[in-house]
Structure 1
Amino acid sequence: MGRFYITTPIFYVNGDPHLGTAYAVILADAIARWHRLIGDEVRFVTGTDEHGLKIAQSAEAHGVSPQAWVDVTSAQFRRAWDALEVSYDDFIRTTEPRHHRSVQRFLERIHDRGDIYLGTYEGLYCVRCEAYYQPGELEPGELCPVHHVACERMREENYFFALSRYQDRLLEHYERHPEAIWPESRRNEVLRFIEGGLTDISITRTSIDWGVRVPWDSRHVFYVWYDALVNYLTAIGYAEDSAEVAAWWPAAHHLLGKDILRFHAVWWPAMCLAAGIDPPAQLIVTGWLLNEGEKMSKSLANQIDPLGVQRALSADALRHYLVRSSAIGPDWDVSLEALVALYNAELANGFGNLVARVGSLIVQRLGGHVPDAPATPPDELAIAETIEAVRAGWERWRPNDAMDAAIGLVHRLNAYLEATEPWRLAKGSAEAASVLGTAREGARLASVLLSPAIPDGAERARRALGFDEAGPLAWQPGMGGATITKPAPLFPRTDLDAVVGRR
């Protein structure tokens, strides 16, 4: 057992949550749930990024103050994550006083150490990204490479962070800690960028006032990205409690999309070094969710509504699809068709069918009286191998492999029932009790292994089979004695037309 600190990016509140943002928070939630399951003390943090030019413009367009606008839009994210069973321990809002204090303390420390200086910046700026781009990074016509819209040329007095001073130290850090960026392809991308030479970066703005004020110069506010990155320290009390920071930092795992890798893998660790603290332990970098080949985002209006899926099926259906369907790292195409097919195959016909069969057979053959599980499981269920494969999947940042191993146990349990045919065994017989005790305990263990992705369905399955608690991550003999009734369907079969109609 140990401590495990995991974060998502904090999400920009200029629109509703979409499947891309839901993917990040659900994936992080499943990882956090796994670590709680194995006994770790977990800190799981998400939240909303509420400053910057884009927010000020959106508030003005809606005829409200920026604070009023972000109060509404941030609440939408919190409601969405609650509906999707996200078990966050802290929800950071960058407009909170505690965050302002953290940002000011962190960046003032860098200023006092001599790595922030005053200058003038001119460059091409994408308002949607809240980021400057070099000409070589843009598409023809000075278009943003992410949003395909024209960038604006801006010139203003800024404070700069002396990033160029940290080129060698960043290379040394990644040489000593090759695990600090995962997958390796993203680490190589970062190393190539650093080796190409780093330039100092603008970290404040004077053209807007919606942001965290610079404590040594009130004419400036901090540029939204450098405000936002500090949230990872706000969540562990950076401005309030040094003991809490020492307990959780630098053993932080930042889950993020590849489009914000440079901010997290270059700017952020350099700023940590400049502030006198170690960089975060690890960045876990996901690919993009694609819809017909395009990145899913608010501005491109190609989203799948995660709450629409939740209303039409369940939070578990969406969670299982996002955790199960692809490895962390590559881009992958998503669709409602694929989601419905996976739901029917693995939740309705697989796990849901297993629980229904076991519960119904206990009622039919044993009068609803739950039998004990035998001391050891049958070899054909491969219990020890399954647990090890699931554990390895989570530890290696391959939750899809972990879920594959858990679903494999479900398939073997259904095959075990087909082979032993408990419906043919004499009612009340010791043989029927042994077979159904085995299947019931196997279904409990499968529910535990699946619970990081489908927490609600896993709990309902255990209750349907007469278990008061999840129980250990191991085969558990005995545990009979309860009385159950025929279970209701956990995951009723559906089709695409029904899902589209119910959204």
Structure 2
Amino acid sequence: MASRFYVTTPIYYINDVPHLGTAYTTIAADVLCRYHRLRGHESRMLTGTDEHGLKIQRAAEARGVAPGAHADEIAAVFRATWPKLGCAPDDFIRTSEPRHKKAVQELWSRIKARGDIYLGHYEGLYCVGCEAYYTEKDLEQPGNVCPLHKKPAESVKEESYFFRLSRYGDALLDYYKRNPTFVQPASRLNEVVSFVREGLQDLSVSRTTFEWGIPVPDDPKHVMYVWFDALANYMTALREPEDNTRFWPADVHLVGKDILRFHAVYWPAFLLSAGYGEAELPRQVFAHGFLTYSGQKMSKTLRNTISPVEVATALSEAAAAALPGGPGAAAGAPLVGVDVVRYCLMRAISFGQDGDFSLQDVLSRYGSELGNALGNLLNRVLPFAEEVPAKGALGPLEEELAGAQRQAAAAAATAFDANQPTRALDAIWTVIAAANLYIDKAAPWVAKKTDPARLGTIIATLIEQLEAISVMISPVMPVVAGRMREQLGLPPIAFEEGSDRWPMALPSRAPGEKLHRGSPIFPRLEKEKEAELLARFAPPRPDAEPGKADAKAGAKVDAQAGAKADSKAAPAASGGAEVAAPPARQGKSPVAFDDFARLDLRIGVVTSAERVKKKDRLLDLRVDTGDGAPRRIISGIAASYAPEELVGKRIVVICNLPPRDFGKGLVSEGMLLTAEVEGRVRTITVEDAAPGTPVF
């Protein structure tokens, strides 16, 4: 792996406020940058603001202020927001800065000198909201309505400079073919390839009808097209105020899928035209999906209403109030909410897919995955010792747990390396589940009475696991990781270039080192407090008819679920009457042995489970089937199991069914084997089989 890592967010357009969507991208970039620092890589993260264009000029005019003053005000809000969400960018670039203006004009001159910019006239359709040109086939009819902003595109006719984009279609297609990971996920690459294959038209790259932009060199009555200006930020930010050009090319541009075309088509074409070689193109453009909030589209009203910083602050206050002694009873408590928001954004939404964020989901994960799983693991260990005990001979239980840790660390690293924080967290939570299961099996409360030496081995084993877990979660939850380490008697994680801190092997603690048991990191919230939070952050009334879209989506999920278990749950008998024995079942027609042998049946361990919001019959499971990272399985067994009943169960999974897309980011990668017992669906379970064990 390269010794340097450079990740960028889009530079955010200042017609809006920082919201859940921009927070999602910025937090993801921060997570990846922190991970690479752990691995000893010289790492850099860039974010910033995109400040030019007709939309900004009009917004400033409407307020009665100069565009520059408007930009200063909004950019300051963005700059101040990211530290409040635990994000630490190394640079914040503004397109109105002199350093950017100078470098963009140099890029223009290089491209023009190669004959790829020429003067002509543009006549066509332009969406001011997108700051993008469209043809009629790109717009909704009648009325040439922008599909994103739902407003008619404006007719534009003016003198314009053009970029010879048509010259680069074949070169781009050839590059995509030889570099299939240039655009991720793969489905987005298919979209880009399809767009380019349709034929590229030369691109209008200047305007004369407004002035708020970077002047074209030697022709100042033209200002540059805002996307020509904006895309260059990823390079211009590396040139000043100090030379950081060693970080180019960027390892990954994180973008929303709505701006993928600009980054995967226009940007590499500009670079090739300017004389940069293929080795100097960005290594990857990763396009994530759209976010909804509690099932609602992120309208401007909703973005202005639901502030991620306010959600994080409210969670911190609720957690602090729940501590023994009241607010502020434990150092760092006011910051826990930031990590909860970071965790839920990275865990709940498969990176690259559309997804939903809701406070109900946040509270559920706070109580189960963070409180009951991670927080409770720490709380179950530290009461047994005030210092690290000596470790004796290791038995099968310790070896099994060490193997789970090695597998989880490797799988999480692979996922982070592939820019997949969701899968990384899935893998990390397998070892958290394994450690909790180890406690149940090792029973330290029994060893305390009968075998103190064995108790020391159990607690020392768990302390090592907790240290490794604190490192692995730190890119996503740096505050929580720090508080864990305080209680474990460990110093903060130190980053050092060339020094890999990732726990591929378990750390070792010297006996006698002090432990410092503290207050719970995730104290249990009262139901009344949860209700207050839900009411406070309830989404505003949607513009559309309430429930209409959800009902449609629900019908799609229910129709596609298809699992045998989904339709088998029967109502419980009432009145004390005996339940009649089920009628004899009609056998099915024989199948060839070869057909049966093609089924990939394996033992899987459920690492997490949760209800699917607004789908009463469905559970969303993560199951370790020996693939390195858990697979996601959507199953209609919610009428028979509470989610917490399934965690830790060893079940039988069909692993080679094609993925089933239920919509809204719900993709199932397998199916559980179940049986109907006395009117209830029950999973087929086994004992003491490793995840991935084949079933014959």
TM-score by length of 1: 0.93
Is 1:423 paired with 2:445? yes
How far the C-alpha of 1:107 sits from its partner, in A, is 1.3
SS of 1:179 mapped into structure 2: coil
CA contact (8 A) 2:373 2:433 kept: yes
Taking the TM superposition and a 5 Å limit, the aligned residue runs for 1:265-280 are 265-278=264-277, 279-280=281-282
SS of 2:129 mapped into structure 1: coil
1:48 maps to: 49
Q: Any idea what the Cα deviations from partners look like across 1:300-354, whole Å, max 9, x if unmatched?
A: 7586321121111211111111111222222122222112212221111111111
1:184 to 183, 186, 189: 186
d(CA) in 1 for partners of 2:456, 2:201? 71
d(CA) in 1 for partners of 2:165, 2:185? 24
Taking the TM superposition and a 5 Å limit, the aligned residue runs for 1:324-335 are 324-335=347-358
2:345 maps to: 322
User: Taking structure 1 as reference, are residues 380 and 142 closer, same or farther at Cα in structure 2, changes over 3 Å only?
Assistant: same
2:387 maps to: 369
1:60 maps to: 61
1:478 to 494, 499, 509: 509
d(CA) in 2 for partners of 1:272, 1:165? 13
2:523 maps to: 492
Paired letter, 1:284: F
Is 1:94 paired with 2:95? yes
2:37 maps to: 36
Paired letter, 1:452: P
Paired letter, 1:97: P
1:389 maps to: 411
How far the C-alpha of 1:482 sits from its partner, in A, is 3.2
How far the C-alpha of 1:450 sits from its partner, in A, is 1.1
Q: Which moved more, 1:445-454 or 1:293-302?
A: 293-302
How far the C-alpha of 1:501 sits from its partner, in A, is 5.8
Q: Deviating runs (4+, > 4 A) in structure 1?
A: 238-241, 292-295, 299-303, 372-377
CA contact (8 A) 2:19 2:307 kept: yes
Paired letter, 1:497: A
User: Taking structure 1 as reference, are residues 342 and 300 closer, same or farther at Cα in structure 2, changes over 3 Å only?
Assistant: closer
Q: Identity over aligned residues, as a percent? A: 46
Paired letter, 2:183: I
User: Taking structure 1 as reference, are residues 171 and 240 closer, same or farther at Cα in structure 2, changes over 3 Å only?
Assistant: farther
User: Taking structure 1 as reference, are residues 275 and 463 closer, same or farther at Cα in structure 2, changes over 3 Å only?
Assistant: same
1:379 maps to: 399
Q: Which moved more, 1:44-53 or 1:302-311?
A: 302-311
d(CA) in 2 for partners of 1:338, 1:357? 25
d(CA) in 1 for partners of 2:186, 2:393? 43
CA contact (8 A) 2:183 2:285 kept: yes
Paired letter, 1:399: P
d(CA) in 1 for partners of 2:180, 2:71? 38
SS of 2:64 mapped into structure 1: coil
Q: Any idea what the Cα deviations from partners look like across 1:134-153, whole Å, max 9, x if unmatched?
A: 11111122211011122221
1:365 maps to: none
How far the C-alpha of 1:479 sits from its partner, in A, is 3.6
How far the C-alpha of 1:105 sits from its partner, in A, is 0.9
Paired letter, 2:28: L
User: Taking structure 1 as reference, are residues 170 and 386 closer, same or farther at Cα in structure 2, changes over 3 Å only?
Assistant: same
Paired letter, 1:392: T
Taking the TM superposition and a 5 Å limit, the aligned residue runs for 1:157-176 are 157-176=159-178
d(CA) in 1 for partners of 2:128, 2:393? 63
Paired letter, 1:112: A
How far the C-alpha of 1:372 sits from its partner, in A, is 5.0
Q: Any idea what the Cα deviations from partners look like across 1:211-257, whole Å, max 9, x if unmatched?
A: 1111221111111111110000012218985xx43x22234311111
User: Taking structure 1 as reference, are residues 375 and 455 closer, same or farther at Cα in structure 2, changes over 3 Å only?
Assistant: farther
CA contact (8 A) 2:388 2:509 kept: no
Paired letter, 2:133: Y
How far the C-alpha of 1:101 sits from its partner, in A, is 1.2
User: Alpha carbon RMSD of aligned pairs, Å?
Assistant: 2.2
d(CA) in 2 for partners of 1:188, 1:7? 23
2:132 maps to: 131
d(CA) in 2 for partners of 1:392, 1:222? 41
Number of residue pairs the alignment of both structures matches:
495
User: Taking structure 1 as reference, are residues 239 and 320 closer, same or farther at Cα in structure 2, changes over 3 Å only?
Assistant: closer
1:436 maps to: 459
Structure 2: gaps (5+ residues): 316-336, 494-500, 538-696
SS of 1:178 mapped into structure 2: coil
SS of 1:125 mapped into structure 2: strand
d(CA) in 2 for partners of 1:419, 1:99? 60
Paired letter, 1:263: F
d(CA) in 1 for partners of 2:481, 2:536? 24
How far the C-alpha of 1:292 sits from its partner, in A, is 6.2
User: Taking structure 1 as reference, are residues 220 and 352 closer, same or farther at Cα in structure 2, changes over 3 Å only?
Assistant: same
How far the C-alpha of 1:113 sits from its partner, in A, is 1.3
User: Taking structure 1 as reference, are residues 462 and 151 closer, same or farther at Cα in structure 2, changes over 3 Å only?
Assistant: same
User: Taking structure 1 as reference, are residues 301 and 443 closer, same or farther at Cα in structure 2, changes over 3 Å only?
Assistant: closer
Paired letter, 1:88: P
2:687 maps to: none
d(CA) in 1 for partners of 2:447, 2:339? 35
Paired letter, 1:318: V
Is 1:250 paired with 2:238? no
CA contact (8 A) 2:31 2:475 kept: yes
2:480 maps to: 457
d(CA) in 2 for partners of 1:157, 1:60? 24
d(CA) in 1 for partners of 2:429, 2:88? 23
Is 1:336 paired with 2:359? yes
1:359 maps to: 382
CA contact (8 A) 2:207 2:224 kept: yes
SS of 1:284 mapped into structure 2: strand
CA contact (8 A) 2:39 2:502 kept: no
Q: Any idea what the Cα deviations from partners look like across 1:427-469, whole Å, max 9, x if unmatched?
A: 8933322211111111111111111111111111111111114
1:286 maps to: 288
Paired letter, 1:349: N
SS of 1:426 mapped into structure 2: helix
User: Taking structure 1 as reference, are residues 334 and 14 closer, same or farther at Cα in structure 2, changes over 3 Å only?
Assistant: same
Paired letter, 2:388: V
d(CA) in 2 for partners of 1:143, 1:300? 22
SS of 2:520 mapped into structure 1: coil
d(CA) in 1 for partners of 2:228, 2:390? 57
Paired letter, 1:228: A
CA contact (8 A) 2:486 2:516 kept: no
Paired letter, 1:198: L
1:229 maps to: 231
CA contact (8 A) 1:50 1:70 kept: yes
2:323 maps to: none
Q: Any idea what the Cα deviations from partners look like across 1:181-223, whole Å, max 9, x if unmatched?
A: 1111111111111111110111111111111111221111111
1:208 to 207, 210, 216: 210
How far the C-alpha of 1:87 sits from its partner, in A, is 2.1
Paired letter, 1:31: L
Is 1:24 paired with 2:25? yes
d(CA) in 2 for partners of 1:390, 1:335? 25
SS of 2:340 mapped into structure 1: helix
Q: Any idea what the Cα deviations from partners look like across 1:46-92, whole Å, max 9, x if unmatched?
A: 11111111111222222222111111211111221101111211111
* Higher fraction of helix: 1
Higher RCO (CA-CA < 8 Å; seq separation 6+): 1
d(CA) in 2 for partners of 1:120, 1:373? 79
CA contact (8 A) 2:19 2:304 kept: no
Structure 1: gaps (5+ residues): 363-367
2:542 maps to: none
Larger radius of gyration: 2
